[in-house]
Chain A
């Protein structure tokens, strides 16, 4: 069952522009949302998270927005850099530290 969905398998963005990665979820019990970044032959690396009581969290070039009523979150990367090229996973769980439910990932390519 796909409780976390990333409907765009890939995204291409020019260097310096904004990258927007989207994620939808179906389980209204999810309370904690995370974004991970993955390079080939490496494990997922934690990027940024947000709890359901917030609608925005910012960390440097990365901002995550949460719309609970729409069950939708997005990751904004501004400005995008070639080193951001990777697969980005959205993940969610009911309580921080419990089992993570992952989306299938979006492959981001940032071109010079």
Chain B
């Protein structure tokens, strides 16, 4: 079964450094997402991306964050200057379509990248 793959599985970075998290969504999917889960808290939406544009973003997704689809298969999340509070599990997800009424359009998640900021 096709799956979303994320690399690396664990990233350790010094505070203030830039970090790029990588994802390969399911190949026929058109919508891409990033979520994060801080330890002990719920999974939180960061951003969604379609047709090379951000379609929706949360308050968490400030100017320190950016997303890109650099080629036909990868989808990346960049944190420009990391802070201690960015330490979390980051999940990438993808879905085939959006907004079609009455049709299952689940988001499929990767196994996540654990980001540790020192």
Contact surface of A with B, Cβ cutoff 8 Å: 2, 34, 36, 41-46, 49, 51, 53, 89, 91, 95-105
Contact = CB atoms under 8 A, between A and B. Distances in A.
Interface in B59-118: 91, 93, 95, 97-112
Nearest to B45: A99
B112 A43 contact: yes
Q: Determine the main DSSP class of A at the interface with B.
A: loop
Contacts of A91: 43
Contacts of A51: 101-102
A62 to B, nearest CB: 13
B18 interface: no
Interface string B45-60: 1001000000010100
B56 A98 contact: yes
A96 B104 contact: yes
A97 B95 contact: yes
Interface of B: 4, 6, 31, 33, 35, 41-45, 48, 56, 58, 91, 93, 95, 97-112
B57 to A, nearest CB: 9
Given A43-B109, A95-B98, A99-B45, 8 more contacts: A2-B42, A96-B98, A97-B97, A98-B48, A100-B35, A100-B45, A100-B107, A104-B41
Given A43-B91, A45-B109, A97-B107, A102 B102 contact: no
A98 B109 contact: no
Contact of A96 (B41, B42, B103, B111): B103
Contact of A99 (B56, B100, B104): B56
A102 B101 CA distance: 21
30 contacts: A2-B42, A36-B109, A41-B111, A42-B112, A43-B93, A43-B110, A43-B111, A43-B112, A44-B43, A44-B91, A45-B109, A46-B107, A46-B108, A49-B104, A51-B102, A89-B43, A96-B100, A96-B101, A97-B95, A97-B98, A97-B105, A98-B56, A98-B99, A99-B33, A99-B56, A99-B58, A101-B45, A102-B43, A103-B42, A104-B41
